[in-house]
Amino acid sequence: MAWTWRFEKSDGTQVAPPVEPEDFPTQGDAESWIGEVWKDLLDGGADQVLLYEDDAVVYGPMSLHADQAEPTS
């Protein structure tokens, strides 16, 4: 199993991230990473992210804009 992020503009267009992601072994690792770099991603042109487990969307799109971010449960 690999956990990966997809980076998008607000219209759903995929963008290249300014911070190179990796394939994460766990969901927690992927979420910790996004928590550390989300501001860099936003500054680099990404507006939202989606989390994938292999080819399946786990959740998202999730806004990187603090005023639009939805709480996670």
Give the pLDDT band (50/70/90) at residue 69: very low
Domain boundaries, the chain: 1-10+25-52
Q: What is the pTM of this model?
A: 0.85
- Main-chain dihedrals φ then ψ at residue 12, nearest 5 degrees: 95, 0
Q: What is the pLDDT of residue 68?
A: 56
Q: What is the pLDDT of residue 1?
A: 81
CA distance 4 to 52: 5
pLDDT digits (tens, 9 = 90+) for 11-38: 999 999 999 888 899 999 999 999 999 9
CA distance 72 to 61: 12
Q: What's the helix, strand, coil split of the chain in %, to 5?
A: 25, 30, 45
Q: What is the pLDDT of residue 66?
A: 79
CB 30 within 8 A of CB 3: yes
Q: Which token pair is 55?
A: 């080819």
pLDDT digits (tens, 9 = 90+) for 47-65: 999 999 999 999 999 999 9
Q: Which token pair is 53?
A: 């487990």
